[in-house]
Structure 1
Amino acid sequence: MGKKGTIYLGIAILTLAAFMLLQYSKPKEINWFPSYVASHKIPYGTVVLNTVMEGLFPSQLQQVYNPPFEFINQNDSINGSYVFINNDIQFNKEELNALLNWTAKGNRLFIASKDFEEELKDTLGLETDFSYVGFETSQKQLHSLLNPRLTLTDSIIFNRDTSTPYFNKIDTLNTTVLGQVAVVVDKKQKELQVNALMHPFGDGTIILSTFPEAFTNYFILKRENKAYTAGMLSYLDDGKPIYLDNHYKSGKSFYTSPMYIFLNTKELKWAYYIALFGALLYVIFEGKRKQRAIPVVTPLPNRTLDFTRTISDMYYLKSDQKSIAEHKINYFLDWLRTRFYIGNIRKEDDFYNTIASRSGHSFEFVTKVFSFMEHLRNSDQISDDDLLKLNTLLQKFKAKTDGK
């Protein structure tokens, strides 16, 4: 490498090092993924909620990691409140029926999700919709609870989402409205909508909320929002066990890939990138210098045609036309078997008709070919003219069969 090339390489390495230093020193981006996992400390994790609930209900709270269908069937005697909190929760039919049957026995089912399966909404006479006004910077949501006995007096402001789900149809005779939401765009407040309700079901109660963000770290730790979360949790039956679901979560509670440790730790991630860059440099410079030329291996020539010509010349020089004819007839019959999937060669009119229909030849021509082959097989001596005629007939038969 010349002096000029060394200078260019040094400039490139210094530039890359400066870029990596800037990337390393810049602040870590906030992860806004809606995981709702109990151990996650990101804004949309629920570690704060779990810590608070463990302090409020130390002897009643039980973490559930199994699917609800499996958990209920394996524990027939469980009773209390079953809590589900996630960005989206969709039970299958058998699971929903098991939860509803369990609730009807005098238990409470608490679900906070942006949407619910159609079967649950049909059962409770509900319909959902959402308000979407685009990405206006002045947009915000005002959330409020309607129970006058709660300590929450003012509306809670939430301005992270651009869509606001709510219930646009409820069973007014049996449903109790717990919370409402209004969207404010450009300082203009839209109509209040129901986003939290309580519905009796058998001897139990179902509580639904379309605002699962109220139970996340970001919401609870912001201003006085914890009063809203505490108000929603006050509807749980605190005299009985509380089962907190950890199965229906958008995020993962633990990561099985070892690469997660490297890519999630800033120092290890950049050490990994530097190692990859060093390996690339080694391949470019050292590999090019030490790699030997790969020799060109000439493939063995195909001598099949030469061998065939040699054998045919031997037969021809010995004037053994009988053997040549036998070989050509046997090869032709084998070609017929493989081409038309014929088991046995028969000297019958039905067989000739089959060959004629499959090959496109006339019955008379097929009969002529097979009769001539039989004549040659029964002859002791075969002339050159007979051999040439046989070859002409077989070539004509194959040519028309192949569409030539």
Structure 2
Amino acid sequence: MSSQRKTVAGLILFGLIFLVIQTTAPRETDWLPSYSRNDKIPLGSYLIFDFLGDFFPGQQVETIRRPLYETLNDPATPDSINYLIINSAFGPDRFETDLILAKVRLGAHFFVAANNYSGALADSLNLKTAISYQSLLAPGGGFTSPALPESLSAPEWGKIHLSYYFSRIDTQEAVVAGKDLDGRPVFVKMAMGDGVLWLSSQPNAFTNFGMLHPGSTQYAATMLSFLPLQPVWWDEYYKRGFQGRTQILRYILGQPALRAAWYVLLLGAFLFVIFEGRRRQKAIPVIEPLQNETVGFVRTVSELYYQKSDHYNLSLKMINHFLEYLRGHFRVPTDSFSPAFVEKLSQRSGADAGQLRALFGLISRLRESGRCSESQLWELNQQIGKFYQQSGT
């Protein structure tokens, strides 16, 4: 068996073992507070959301996955709605607070249940919650309200203690609609314009765990009965630190079988990168670069002219090549060697103007005479070489 097949077989075997362990292992109860309509964990809100259609018969129940500043700024958002926000904490900023209060004055009923209130809303309403350390040691907890029958005033929650209460509220605006067993406010009504802002310090009353206890369903339903019969908007945006939007990865990690498959996939990808992701190819042969034969060719041609003592033809070829170089690199016309031409070439090339006058004087004499001696050919070569040095080319 090849190493590649062994690797694949090992991955498959490991994946099967991992899946068996994941599916047969006892599951721990997740006590994280999510308050999400999708979660069936103890502190999720699957049950209360499922009952909203019974609490508000004939009314549309809509899930909102957008922030308040988007939802309340939308012209399509009606004024007469019941907006439910259930979370462990609620702290809108100044802009969102102004939108909430404006929508309430137009007829909306905002129902917020949270343990902690902060931000501009808490500042505007002089609102603060506190926790009762004494009730944490007690076996139960709850609240009483003038609208609730006495039998519903104190349900026992067992592991969850509804220990938060409003330690500070604006008494001029707020009406206490519910108190805990110690007489402290836990449910507050604030009428504004045509609507009402309802604030509760006990979000756990709307969790799956809370509603499964005797009397708890009617207890939560009676709280919601304060709201009028109109469309219900359930917030899913402000959940678990603003992670209320549905996420594929979150769903995968929330399902044991899918989570195990996801981990196996990640492990397989990691092992593939380690063992199979290496570059496979033959050694690249070293190819020597082609030699530049131009210099050798020029040297051969020049030696041929020199041996034949044809200095004049050789000088003409050197002059023509030099003038072509000037036209191509410095963009100067070479039909006339006037003082203006010499000055322009000196500025563009950086060569000495006196040396240029001597060079072009020699070129002019050679052209006019039609002859070139060996000494003149040597001088021409030297003058052109000096130009290349001075111009940096």
Which residue of structure 1 lines up, in the alignment, with residue 309 of structure 2?
none
Task: Tell me how many residue pairs correspond in the alignment.
Answer: 352
- 1:321 maps to a residue whose letter is M
Q: 2:281 aligns with which of 282, 285, 294?
A: 294
Q: 1:73 aligns with which of 67, 72, 75?
A: 75
* 1:248 lines up with 2:237 in the alignment: yes
Query: Contact between 2:342 and 2:357, CA under 8 Å: does it hold in 1?
Result: no
SS of the residue 1:111 aligns to: strand
Give the Cα–Cα distance (whole angstroms) in 2 for the partners of residues 117 and 350 of structure 1.
78
Q: Which structure 2 residues correspond to residues 33-72 of structure 1 after superposition, within 5 A?
A: 34-60=33-59, 62-65=61-64, 69=71
Q: Which structure 2 residues correspond to residues 1-400 of structure 1 after superposition, within 5 A?
A: 21-32=20-31, 34-60=33-59, 62-65=61-64, 69=71, 73-74=75-76, 76=78, 79=80, 81-87=82-88, 97-113=98-114, 118-122=119-123, 124-128=124-128, 144-150=142-148, 151=150, 152-154=152-154, 169-178=168-177, 196-222=187-213, 225-226=216-217, 229-230=220-221, 232-237=223-228, 240-250=229-239, 266=256, 294-298=281-285, 300-303=287-290, 306-310=292-296, 312-313=298-299, 316-317=302-303, 318=305, 319=314, 320-326=317-323, 328-330=325-327, 332-333=329-330, 367=353, 380=367, 383-398=377-392
1:71 to 1:333, Cα distance in 2 relative to 1, 3 A: closer
Which residue of structure 2 lines up, in the alignment, with residue 187 of structure 1?
none
Q: Root-mean-square deviation (CA), in Å?
A: 5.5
Give the Cα–Cα distance (whole angstroms) in 2 for the partners of residues 140 and 312 of structure 1.
106
Give the Cα–Cα distance (whole angstroms) in 1 for the partners of residues 296 and 388 of structure 2.
22
Give the Cα–Cα distance (whole angstroms) in 2 for the partners of residues 389 and 148 of structure 1.
114
1:119 to 1:329, Cα distance in 2 relative to 1, 3 A: same
1:114 to 1:383, Cα distance in 2 relative to 1, 3 A: farther
Give the Cα–Cα distance (whole angstroms) in 2 for the partners of residues 389 and 255 of structure 1.
79
1:139 to 1:252, Cα distance in 2 relative to 1, 3 A: same
Query: Contact between 1:147 and 1:178, CA under 8 Å: does it hold in 2?
Result: yes
- Give CA deviations for 1:83-129 in whole Å, capped at 9, x if unaligned: 2224556768776555433321344221234566744344x433547
TM-score normalized with structure 1 length: 0.61
TM-score normalized with structure 2 length: 0.62
What's the offset of the Cα at 1:47? 1.6
What's the offset of the Cα at 1:206? 0.7
Query: Contact between 1:108 and 1:205, CA under 8 Å: does it hold in 2?
Result: yes
Which residue of structure 2 lines up, in the alignment, with residue 402 of structure 1?
none
Q: Percent same amino acid among aligned pairs?
A: 21
Give the Cα–Cα distance (whole angstroms) in 2 for the partners of residues 375 and 222 of structure 1.
114
1:232 to 1:141, Cα distance in 2 relative to 1, 3 A: farther
What's the offset of the Cα at 1:46? 1.6
1:327 to 1:227, Cα distance in 2 relative to 1, 3 A: same
- 1:74 maps to a residue whose letter is A
1:246 to 1:172, Cα distance in 2 relative to 1, 3 A: closer
Which residue of structure 2 lines up, in the alignment, with residue 188 of structure 1?
none
Q: Which moved more, 1:40-49 or 1:220-229?
A: 220-229
What's the offset of the Cα at 1:75? 5.8
SS of the residue 2:110 aligns to: strand
1:367 to 1:165, Cα distance in 2 relative to 1, 3 A: farther
- 1:126 maps to a residue whose letter is N
1:121 to 1:21, Cα distance in 2 relative to 1, 3 A: closer
- 2:389 maps to a residue whose letter is Q
Query: Contact between 2:190 and 2:196, CA under 8 Å: does it hold in 1?
Result: yes
Give the Cα–Cα distance (whole angstroms) in 2 for the partners of residues 246 and 72 of structure 1.
15
1:246 to 1:331, Cα distance in 2 relative to 1, 3 A: same
Q: Which moved more, 1:167-176 or 1:112-121?
A: 112-121
SS of the residue 2:292 aligns to: helix
- Give CA deviations for 1:26-71 in whole Å, capped at 9, x if unaligned: 1234445554332432333322102333333323463354757369
1:196 to 1:282, Cα distance in 2 relative to 1, 3 A: closer
Query: Contact between 2:91 and 2:119, CA under 8 Å: does it hold in 1?
Result: no
- Uncovered stretches (5+) of structure 2, i.e. residues with no partner: 306-313, 333-339
What's the offset of the Cα at 1:181? 8.0
- Give CA deviations for 1:168-206 in whole Å, capped at 9, x if unaligned: 643222223456789xxxxxxxx9986643222123211
Query: Contact between 2:129 and 2:165, CA under 8 Å: does it hold in 1?
Result: yes
Give the Cα–Cα distance (whole angstroms) in 2 for the partners of residues 205 and 294 of structure 1.
73
- 2:125 maps to a residue whose letter is G
SS of the residue 2:75 aligns to: helix
Give the Cα–Cα distance (whole angstroms) in 2 for the partners of residues 314 and 241 of structure 1.
102
Which residue of structure 2 lines up, in the alignment, with residue 342 of structure 1?
none
- Uncovered stretches (5+) of structure 1, i.e. residues with no partner: 183-190, 337-345, 400-404
Q: Which moved more, 1:22-31 or 1:224-233?
A: 224-233
